[in-house]
Amino acid sequence: MDLTFNAEERAFEQEVREFIAANLTPEIKRATALTPSVFSDPDIGMAWQRALHKKGWGAPGWPVDHGGPDWTPAQRWIFEAESARAGVPNVNVMGVKMVGPVIIGFGSPEQKNYYLPKILSGEDYWCQGYSEPGSGSDLSSLKTRAVRDGDDYIINGTKIWTTHAHHANRMFALVRTNDTERQQDGISFILIDMKSPGITTRPILTIGGDHEVNQVFFDDVRVPVANRVGEEGKGWTYGKYLLEFERGSGIASAKLRDALKTVSDLAESEATGRAIDDPDIAVRMSEIEVDIDTLEMTELRVLSALQTGQNPGAVSSLLKLRVSEIRQAVTRLGVEVIGNDGLYVEPIRPLYRLNEEPGIPEELLPVVPEYLNSRAYTIFGGSSEIQREIVAKMVLGL
């Protein structure tokens, strides 16, 4: 057993560092630091996507014949860790990490040729149409209907909690194409052009003051049958495949460590009156850091299993649970660290484009919005209660 990376991997690490140093502008770095959500605004995220694409690193998890960089699991680890350490923005995860792998796995040759290059280049921006007002945790009860009419489906219904629908030009959605005894069997996976007539989008503001999610309405929206991925009625299988990616995309510890580092720096600064001198805060900081050490080690165990071709299995639910809880612990500690400055509310967004100087030091601005935003972590992508059910079923066989 060996916890260290070999010489080749060290050289790759150096290459990643050099790439980031050459491409991550101070403006993008500052905008990312001042973004309360993990989802960067498209102008920030897509600028980074274009830089990655130019280097051939636009889609780390994809197979090489679709434009992936052909990295080993260790290289992916190093890339993610270095990216987190440097504070790079998030690219359009709904494209690169969610719909991309589904199209690669189950799409037609035409779909692959048409959509994948546009994800890589950053030309397309994707959103995810899964949840509905009546179908949250019980996703397979979804009612948005696609009725066959010649070469088209006609779609009616509504999707909700759609992150960045107001930025996206494309949506991948689960829709009901059949009424079947088992409700999962009547669901299909479909790709929708957001400019199609009949689609309207309503913003939903979240408690942190951000416009991140939306409700999307479909009123007789025509979508070619050719936009269905895979077989009719198999959408649930494809959708679950994607959720496993969403939950266990594997490498979160580096991001969390970076977030804790930010809180720790604030706690050691005069801006917070050196909050770290409060022994309770110092110990809580250690507790969270140890939790991140633990998560990192679990991620490395998964990585090691992947390298030897083993399937890590239901561990993705386990990781999702801990990642979301640790994220909340970090942001909660941040609120405590900044003390009275946490009472200041800045309603303007984005925070990196304020016209006037804020009433508190700039670096404190995202702290409370980040905490408020992080409350969603234990809810989206399958709530913690659902994840515990999955662990009970898949890990414990209950």
Q: What are phi and psi of 266, to 5 degrees?
A: -60, -40
Please tell me whether residue 11 binds other proteins under the rule CB under 8 A.
no
Task: Out of 22, 226, 290, 348, point to the residue binding other proteins (CB under 8 A).
Answer: 290
- Alpha helices for 268-394 (secondary structure H): 279-307, 315-338, 367-374, 384-390
Please tell me whether residue 266 binds other proteins under the rule CB under 8 A.
no
What is the residue type of 272? Answer: T
Region from 36-44, 167-175, 187-195, 284-292 binding other proteins, contact rule CB under 8 A:
284-292
And the tokens for 252?
Answer: 């979160």
Region from 12-20, 111-119, 205-213, 298-306 binding other proteins, contact rule CB under 8 A:
298-306
Helix axes 7-23, 73-86, angle to 10 degrees: 40
Binding mask 80-109 for other proteins (x = CB under 8 A): -----x------------------------
Q: What does the chain come to in residues?
A: 398
Please tell me whether residue 5 binds other proteins under the rule CB under 8 A.
yes
Least distance to other proteins, CB of residue 258, Å: 6
Catalytic residues: 246
Task: Out of 52, 271, 318, 329, point to the residue binding other proteins (CB under 8 A).
Answer: 318
Q: Are 350 and 41 in contact (CB under 8 A)?
A: yes
Task: Out of 285, 326, 333, 337, point to the residue binding other proteins (CB under 8 A).
Answer: 285
Please tell me whether residue 301 binds other proteins under the rule CB under 8 A.
yes
Positions in 217-236 near other proteins (CB under 8 A): none
Region from 30-38, 45-53, 228-236, 297-305 binding other proteins, contact rule CB under 8 A:
297-305
Positions in 343-382 near other proteins (CB under 8 A): none
Closer residue to other proteins (CB): 2 or 110 = 2
Task: Out of 119, 194, 251, 276, point to the residue binding other proteins (CB under 8 A).
Answer: 276
Write the CA distances from 90 to 44, 184, 255, 296, 376, integer angstroms. 8, 32, 11, 20, 17
* 323 vs 298: CA distance, rounded Å: 11
* 28 vs 21: CA distance, rounded Å: 12
Please tell me whether residue 44 binds other proteins under the rule CB under 8 A.
no
**Cα 204-258-333 angle, rounded to 5 deg:** 65
* 156 vs 145: CA distance, rounded Å: 5
Write the CA distances from 131 to 45, 180, 265, 326, integer angstroms. 24, 19, 38, 25
Binding mask 46-75 for other proteins (x = CB under 8 A): ----------------------------x-
And the tokens for 25?
Answer: 């502008």
Closer residue to other proteins (CB): 116 or 288 = 288
**DSSP code, position 122:** T
Please tell me whether residue 287 binds other proteins under the rule CB under 8 A.
yes
- SS3 at position 161: coil
Closer residue to other proteins (CB): 22 or 290 = 290
**DSSP code, position 90:** P
Please tell me whether residue 275 binds other proteins under the rule CB under 8 A.
no
Closer residue to other proteins (CB): 98 or 271 = 271
Q: Are 352 and 217 in contact (CB under 8 A)?
A: no
Task: Out of 108, 178, 237, 298, point to the residue binding other proteins (CB under 8 A).
Answer: 298
* 142 vs 155: CA distance, rounded Å: 13
- SS3 at position 144: coil
Closer residue to other proteins (CB): 88 or 160 = 88
* 189 vs 118: CA distance, rounded Å: 19
Q: Which residues form the interface with other proteins (CB under 8 A)?
A: 1-6, 9, 74, 77, 85, 257-258, 260-261, 264, 268, 276, 282-283, 285-287, 289-291, 293-294, 297-298, 300-301, 303-305, 307-308, 318, 321-322, 385, 388-389, 391-392, 395-396, 398
